[in-house]
Structure 1
Amino acid sequence: MSAPTRAPGRPAAPAGSPGANRPEGFATAGRRLLGLLRPERPLLVAVLVLAVVSVLLSVLGPRYLGKATDLVVAGGVGGGGVDFGAVGTVLLVALGVYLGSWLFGVAQARLINGAVQRTASRLRRDAEEKLAKLPVSHFDRQSRGEVLSRVTNDIDNVGQSLQQTFSQVITSVLTILGVLAVMFFISPLLAVFALVSIPISALVTILIGKRAQPQFAAQWKSTGELNGHVEEMYTGHATIKAFGRGREAAEIFRQRNEALTKASFRAQFLSGVIQPSMMFLSNLNYLLVAVVGALRVSAGALTIGDVQAFVQYSRQFSQPLTQVASMANLVQSGLASAERVFALLDAPEQDPSPDLAPKTGRPRGRVEFEHVAFRYDPDKPLIEDLSLVAEPGATVAIVGPTGAGKSTLVNLLMRFYEITGGRITLDGEDTSAMSRERLRAATGMVLQDTWLFGGTIAENIAYGKQNATREEVVAAAKAAHVDHFARSLPDGYDTVIDDEGTGVSAGEKQLITIARAFLADPAILILDEATSSVDTRTEALIQRAMATLRTGRTAFVIAHRLSTIRDADVILVMERGAIVEQGTHDELVAKGGAYARLHRAQFTGPAEVD
C-alpha cells in the first residue's frame, strides 16, 4: 500500500518549522537532555566513583614530584649527597599514581560511552515512535529532508556532544575541587591568587556563550533546510533536468549552503574565541603564581618543592577551566540540536483512536457519508454537506477537475484527516468510534504515487499481509500481472529493488502495489488513479483483474481517464468539494452536464471552460 501524498489546499510551513510548539530554551533543553540519562543512573554512579579515584590519583602526582625535588635539593645543599634510592622510590610511587589515574580514567570513559550510546538509541526510538503517532497534516507542513535531518543529524549531534563533554565535565569539576583543596593545603596565599582567574573566566565564557547560542540554533536550522532541498533535488532529478531548472536548483543550493556556512562560521568563531581567552587568563595566573611563589621561597615560607608542586597544580587548575570553556561550542551545538529533536517529540499527536465497539469478522463494506464537512483552513471550506452511500460490492467512481476534493474524500474515509462535520459509517458503525488500525485493516489502497521499500519484489508484495506465504504472494502477483515480468528478471521474485524502484518501470511499480492490495484481501478497495502509469494493454488486463477482485467488495475509484470507469455502478462528479452529479456512465452522458463535458473533452475535443 502507498502512503498518502500532500492533500490539495493544505498550506505548507517553511522548512525548518518545528510544528505547533516553539523551540525550547537552551536551559530547558539541557535539563531534558540530562533527564534522558536517568535510566543510566547506576552506571553514572560508577562513573562518578571512577572519576573521583582517577582525579584523586592525578592530584597526588605533583605532591610526590615535589617531594622528589625536595630530596634532590636537600641532598645537594646539605652536602650529604642525593639519596637516589629514596628519590627513585618516590618517583616510582608517582609513576604508579599516574598509571592508576590513567586506568581509572579509561574505565570511566568506557562506561560513559555505553551510557551515552544507549541514551542516543532510546532517543532515536522515541523519535521513530513519535513519527508513527503524528498526523498526516504534520508532514504536509515540513519537507521530508527537514524531518529526516532531525531524526538523523540532530540526534547524532546530541549523542556526540554528550559523548565528548559529559565525562570531561565531570573530570574537570572534580579536578578543580581536588587541586584547589591541595593548593590551600600547601599555601592559602597562593591559592587565593589562583582563584582570581575563576570569576573572570566565568564572565568571559558567559558573555561569549550568549552571543554564540543563537548562531548554533541558526546553524542547525540551516542544516535542516539544506537537507530538505538536497533530498527534493535528488528525488526530482529527472524533472529538474527535463525542465532545464538545473541552474535554478543550483542557485537555491548555493544560497542555503552559504547561509549554513555563515551560521556555522559565526557559531564556531564565537565559541572558538573562548579557548584562547582562557589560555591568556591561564598564563597570567601562572605568571602571578610564579612571582608570588618565588617571593615566598626567598622569605623561607615555602620550599622549592612546594613551589614546584604549586606551579604544577596551577596548571592543573587552569587546564580544566580552559577545557570546560573550550567545550562551549560542543555543548551549545548539542543543545541546539536537542531543541529541534524535542520540538519534534512535543509536536501534537493525532487524537487517540480507541476501539469503542470492536467487532470481529469481515466487514460487509457498506460505506455512507452523512452530511460530511471538511476544511484544511478554518476560513476556507472545501467540502460542505456531502452525502453518499456505497453498497457492499458496489464500484463507486469519483471524477472531477483537479482540486475538486476527490483524494480528500478518500483521505477522510481512511481517517488520514478528521472530518469537521457530519459522520462516515462502515456497516452502520461510525468510523470515528473505530480504531484507525481496524478501519485501515479493512481497506486496501493503491495510489497514483507508488511507494516501494528497499527489498525484494516478493517482500514488497507481502507487505500487504503479515506472514504471507510464497504461494499467496505468487497468486496475488499473477492476479495483478506481475508474475510475467517478475520471472523475467535475473533473480525472479527475489530481485532486489530500492525505495525508488530502480530496475523496474513506473508501470511495473504500480503493478507491484496493486498486487500488494490483492494480497491484503480487503473489504474496501481505494484506487486513486491506480492505472495512470500503465500502458493501454496493461490497463485492460488490470481492469479485468479488478473486476474479479471487486466481487463482493466495495470499491472507490478515483480516475481522470473516463474509459477506466465506464462499468462503475455509480459515478460521482465532484466540483469544489461537492457532488454535482451522480449516476451511471450512460445516464450522465445523456444528461449533458458536467460529466458529459469531461467526456467530450477526452474523446472529442478540448475541455470546455465555464
Structure 2
Amino acid sequence: MSKAKENSEKRKSETQSPEKKFSEMKNPEKKETLEKKKTVEDKKGEEPKDNSYVRLPWFGLKKLGPYLAPYKRIMISMIVLGLFGSSLDIVVPQFQSYALDNFVEKGTLEGLGIFIAIYAAVILIQTIVNTISTYQTCQIEMYVGRDMKQSSFDHLQTLSFSYFNQNSVGYVHARVMSDTDRIGSWIAWGLMDGIWNLSYLIGVVLVMFWMNARLAAFLLFLVPVTVVLASYFQKKLVRFNRTIREINSRVTGNYNEGITGAKTIKSMVIEDKMQENFEAESENMRRTSVHMAHYQALFLAVMSFAASVALALVLWKGGVITAQGVMEIGTLSVFMSYALGMIEPIQWIIRALSSLVSVQVNIERFSRLMETGTEVADSPEVIERYGDVFHPKMENWEPLHGDVEFRDVSFHYPDGEEMIFEHFNLKVPQGTNVAIVGETGAGKSTLVNLLCRFFEPTEGQILIDGRDVRERSQLWLHRNLGYVIQTPHLFSGSIAENLRYAKQDATREEMQAAMKAVAADSIPERMEHGYDSEVGEGGDLLSTGEKQLISFARAVLADPRIFVLDEATSSIDTVTEKKIQDATELLLHGRTSFIIAHRLSTIRQADVILMVEGGKVIEKGTHEQLMQKKGAYYRLYSKQYSMRMPES
C-alpha cells in the first residue's frame, strides 16, 4: 500500500532591495532593529511551535466541508477500498502460515496448484485495489486543490483595494498556492493512508489475539517503546524541517535579489557583500540539513534496532509457546509478519499527529483569507439590479455623463485614525478637466481613490450624475472610468491582448487608433510580430515609458466618460509627454477628468487646478489665477522650475 505523502510548504519571503540591504550593511544597529521588528511581524501566520504539538485541528477541518462535499462519492469509495485493501494485507500472511503448516511440515504437494491460484488471485485483487485507491487519491488531491485555488482567486477579485495595500503579494500568493496545495495533499493522502494504517493496525491486533492471546499481549507490551522512540525523533525532525524551510526562504530571497537587483549591485559595488550573505545562508542551510540527515539516519538505525529486538523477543516467546505444542510454526511465522507490519502504521500515526499541527496553520490562514470581508461592498438591492463582478446585468446600466460632487466627505484609512479629509466639498461639472497638485502625502491619490470607489468615505457622499455612487454597482462605475496610474502594469501576453483587457471585442483598427492617439503606435511597428509581440511578465520586455504608453492607450480604448490620470506621464520622456499632452487635450474634450500631476507643466491648460494640503483644498483656480495669487501653488511651481516669476 502507498505510504503517507508529505509535502513541505515552500514559503515565499518578501525580499528587500539591494539599496536597503546596502544601507543595513553600513548601519548594523539599524539592521538589528529592523530584524527584531521583522521577527515580530513574521510571527503572524507562521506555523505553531512545538508547544502546540498535540493540538488537533478538528474544528478547522469543518471549514473544508464545502470543498469536500462534491467528491463525497469518491471519498466513500476510497474509504471502502482502504478497508478492503487493509483486510487483504492482513489475509495475505495467512497464506504463508497455511503453506508452512500444510505443505512444508507435511511434505506434500497435494492441493498446491489450487493454493497458488487462489494466492495469485488475491495478489491481483490487491494490486487492482491499490491502483484504484491511488488514482482516486490523486483525483481528490487535484480536485480539492483546484477548487480551493479557484474559490480563493474569485474571492480576491471581490476584495477592496485596502486589502492589497495591507497584504504583500508574497503573502497572498502563499495563501492561494502553497496553503491550498498543502491542504489538498494532506486531505487526500491523509484519508487514504489513514484508513489503511488505522484499519490495518486494529485488524492485525484483533487477528493476533484471535490466533494467540498470550503472544499478542506480549507483543503489545513492546509497542510503547517503539512509540516513545518514534515520537522523540519525529519532534526533532519537525523542528529541523521547519528551520530548513525558514533558511530556504532566505536563500531563495538572496538568490532572487542577486538576479533582480544585478544592476544596482554592480553600480554600488557590493558584489562581495552579496556573495558573503548568500554564502553564509547557504552554509547555514548545508549545516542544518546535515544535522537533520544525521538525525534521520540515527532514527532509521534506532527504529530498525528496536524492531529487530522486538522481533527477536517475539520469536523467542513464540518459539517457547510453539515448543510447548500450543501453537504451530505457521502461526508463529504470521505473528512475525504482523509484528513487522505494525511498525509502519505506528510511525505513520506519529507523523500524522505532528503534521496535523502544521496543516492547522494552513487551514487557518486559508480560512482567514476566505472570511475576509470587502470594505467596499454593493448592497443586495444594487446587486439585484446591476449584478455583481461575475454576473453583471449590463442591460440595467444607465449611461454615465460625468457630473461629480464630493459632498461633506470625511475619510481616514481603515487601519488608521487620522483624518485625511474632513468635510471636503467639491463640485465638478461634466467635461471639466481638474488637476490636483500638492506635496507628497497631501491626499491627492486618496481623493481619486475615493472617486474610483477603491475606498468608501468615512462620512459624507460622493455623487455622480446627482446620485450617490453607492446606489450603483462598482462594476458600472469602473467600466466608465479610465484609470492610468504612475506605475504601469501589463499582463503576460501580447500587446493586442493587453489592449483588449479594456475592450474584449476591439478590432485591430480600434487598437491602432488608441495607440496612435497616445503616440504609442511606433512600439508595435518596431517589434517583429507587431501587435502580436509578447510583452513579457509584467511587461518586462518593454521600457517603463513604453509600458506607460500602452496602459494609457488601454484606457483610451475603453472610451470612458471619466478619466483619472495619477501621475501617468511621470515615466515618459519630455518629447513623448508633449505628444500625449496634445492628444490628451482632444481626448479629454467633453469628458470629466482628474489629473494628478508630477510635472506641473502638464496641467497648465486644466480648467481648474486644486492645490491640496493636509486633506484640504487651500487654493483653487486656473494656472494663471493661481500664479497671480503667489500662494502655495506659485511656490510649488517656482520651486520645481527654479524660477521666481511665472511664464506667460
State the TM-score, normalizing by the size of structure 2. Answer: 0.81
Identify the range of structure 1 (592-601 vs 469-478) with the bigger mean alpha-carbon deviation. Answer: 469-478
CA contact (8 A) 1:445 1:526 kept: yes
Match of 2:410 among 359, 367, 373: 373
Offset of residue 451 of structure 1: 0.6
Task: Name whichever of 269-278 and 389-398 sits farther off.
Answer: 269-278
Query: Which residue of structure 2 lines up, in the alignment, with residue 476 of structure 1?
Result: 514
More displaced 10-residue stretch of structure 1: 377-386 or 116-125: 377-386
Superposed, which structure 2 residues align to 1:5-16 within 5 Å? 16=42
Q: Which position in structure 1 is the counterpart of 2:83?
A: 52
What is the CA–CA distance in structure 2 between the aligned matches of 1:162 and 1:128, rounded to whole Å? Answer: 21
Do the aligned partners of 1:154 and 1:338 also contact (CA within 8 Å) in 2? yes
The one of 387, 391, 397 equivalent to 1:360 is: 397
Quote the residue 2:308 is aligned against. 283
1:575 alignment partner in structure 2: 613
> What residue in structure 2 maps to residue 37 of structure 1?
68
Do the aligned residues in 1 keep the contact of 2:462 with 2:469 (CA within 8 Å)?
A: yes
Q: Is 1:212–1:270's contact at 8 Å kept on the other side of the alignment?
A: yes
Would you say the 8 A contact 1:528–1:559 is kept in 2? yes
How far off is 1:268 after superposition? 9.0
**Deviation digits for residues 163-207 of structure 1, max 9, x if unmatched?**
544322221112112222221221111112222244555566666
Rounded to whole Å, the distance in 1 between the matches of 2:219 and 2:203 is 14
Higher relative contact order (CA 8 A, sep 6+): 1
Instruction: Indicate the larger mover: 47-56 or 84-93.
Output: 84-93
Q: Which moved more, 1:253-262 or 1:415-424?
A: 253-262
Partner AA of 1:63 in structure 2:
Q
Instruction: Please point out which of 332, 339, 342 is paired with 1:317.
Output: 342
- Worse overlay, 402-411 or 210-219: 210-219
Other-structure match for 2:22: none
- Structure 2 gaps, min length 5: 1-36, 387-395
Deviation at 1:57, TM superposition (A): 2.1
Distance 2:551 2:224 in 1: 66
Greater shift after overlay, 539-548 or 339-348? 339-348
The Cα shift of 1:361 comes to: 3.0
Structure 1 residue 139: Cα displacement: 2.4
Q: Secondary structure at the match of 1:500?
A: helix
The superposition leaves residues 92-124 of structure 1 with CA deviations (integer Å, 9 ceiling, x where unpaired) of: 433332332122111111111111210111111
Which residue matches 1:302?
Answer: 327
Q: 2:129 aligns with which of 104, 111, 116?
A: 104
Q: In the TM superposition, what is the alpha-carbon distance from 1:282 to its structure 2 partner?
A: 3.5
Q: How does 1:147-162 map to 2 (within 5 A)?
A: 147-162=172-187
Does the Cα contact within 8 Å between 2:140 and 2:184 map onto a contact in 1? no
Taking a change above 3 Å as real, the CA distance of residues 526 and 334 of structure 1, as seen in their structure-2 partners, is same
Could you tell me how far 1:578 is from its partner in structure 2?
1.6
Displacement, 1:464?
1.0
How far did residue 263 of structure 1 move?
8.9
Structure 2 equivalent of residue 78 of structure 1: none
1:391 shift after superposition: 1.0
2:634 to 596, 599, 605: 596
CA distance in 2, matches of 1:248, 1:15: 26
Q: CA deviation at 1:64?
A: 1.7
Q: Which moved more, 1:586-595 or 1:367-376?
A: 367-376
Cα drift, residue 484 of structure 1: 2.6
| 1:270-328 CA-partner distances (Å, limit 9, x unpaired) | 89987666555543432332122111111110111111122112222333223433555
Count of matched residue pairs: 590
Residues 329 and 406 (structure 1), Cα distance of their counterparts in 2 relative to 1, 3 Å cut? same
Name 1:27's counterpart in structure 2: 57
2:101 paired residue number:
70
Closer, same or farther in 2 for the Cα pair 1:257/1:423, shift >3 Å? farther
Corresponding residue SS for 1:455: coil
Structure 1 residue 399: Cα displacement? 0.6
**Contact 1:161/1:334 (CA < 8 Å) preserved in 2?**
yes
Match of 1:528 in 2: 566
Match of 1:553 among 591, 595, 618: 591
Amino acid at match of 1:48: I
Q: Write the letter of the residue equivalent to 2:475.
A: E
CA contact (8 A) 1:15 1:143 kept: no
Distance 1:340 1:98 in 2: 43
More deviation, 303-312/585-594: 303-312
What does residue 26 of structure 2 align with? none
Q: Distance in 2 between matches of 1:398 and 1:525?
A: 13
Task: Answer whether contact 1:213 1:332 (CA < 8 A) is retained.
Answer: no
Q: Is the 8 A contact 1:50 1:104 kept in 2?
A: yes
1:501 aligned partner: 539
Whether 2:476 is the aligned partner of 1:438: answer: yes
Distance 1:195 1:330, change over 3 A: same
Q: In 2, Cα distance between the equivalents of 1:600 and 1:375?
A: 31
Shifted more, 528-537 versus 345-354: the winner is 345-354
Q: CA deviation at 1:345?
A: 2.6
Output the amino acid matched with 1:84.
Answer: L
Q: How does 1:115-194 map to 2 (within 5 A)?
A: 115-194=140-219
The alignment partner of 1:581 has SS state of strand
Counterpart CA distance in 2 for 1:570 and 1:375 is 26
Between 512-521 and 534-543, report the one with greater CA deviation: 534-543
1:467 aligns with 2:499: no
TM-score (normalised: structure 1): 0.86
Check conservation: 2:230, 2:347, Cα contact below 8 A: no
CA RMSD of aligned residues (A): 3.6
Corresponding residue SS for 2:167 = coil
- Deviation at 1:151? 2.2
* Cα deviation, residue 137, structure 1: 2.4
Report SS of the residue matched to 1:386.
strand
| Deviating more after overlay: 61-70 vs 158-167 | 158-167
CA distance in 1, matches of 2:287, 2:57: 25
1:207-356 equivalent positions in 2, closer than 5 A: 238-239=263-264, 241-243=266-268, 279-326=304-351, 332-354=357-379, 356=382
Which amino acid in 2 is paired with 1:128? Answer: F
Distance 1:463 1:237, change over 3 A: farther
Bigger shift: 362-371 or 33-42?
33-42
Quickly say closer, same or farther: Cα 1:425–1:30, change in 2 above 3 A: closer
* Mapped partners of 2:195, 2:507: distance in 1: 55
CA distance in 2, matches of 1:314, 1:596: 90
Deviation at 1:450, TM superposition (A): 0.5
Answer with 585-594 or 154-163: which moved more. Answer: 154-163
Asked whether the 8 Å contact 2:88–2:122 carries over to 1, the reply is yes
CA spacing shift, 1:55–1:264, aligned 2, 3 Å = same
**CA deviation digits over 1:220-241, x for unaligned, max 9?**
6777777777767765554555
| Residue 459 of structure 1, CA deviation | 1.1
Give unmatched runs, 5+ long, in structure 1. 1-11, 76-81
* Distance in structure 1 (CA, Å) of the matches to 2:303 and 2:490: 55
Distance 1:51 1:234, change over 3 A: same
Greater Cα shift, 118-127 or 368-377? 368-377
- Summarize deviations over 1:56-83 as a string: whole Å, max 9, x none: 22212211211111124542xxxxxx21
1:449 paired residue among 481, 487, 491: 487
Which shows bigger deviation, 45-54 or 339-348? 339-348
Q: Deviations over 1:488-515 (max 9, x none)?
A: 2111111111133233222221110111
Q: Structure 1 residues 408, 379: closer, same or farther in 2, change over 3 A?
A: same
The one-letter amino acid paired with 1:37 is L
Residues 450/571 of structure 1: CA separation in 2 closer, same or farther (3 Å cut): same
Letter in 2 for 1:412: L
How many angstroms apart in 1 are the aligned matches of 2:295 and 2:192?
Answer: 24
Q: 1:416 to 1:230 in 2, by over 3 A?
A: farther
Q: Structure 1 residues 134 and 582, CA, compared in 2 at 3 Å: closer, same or farther?
A: same
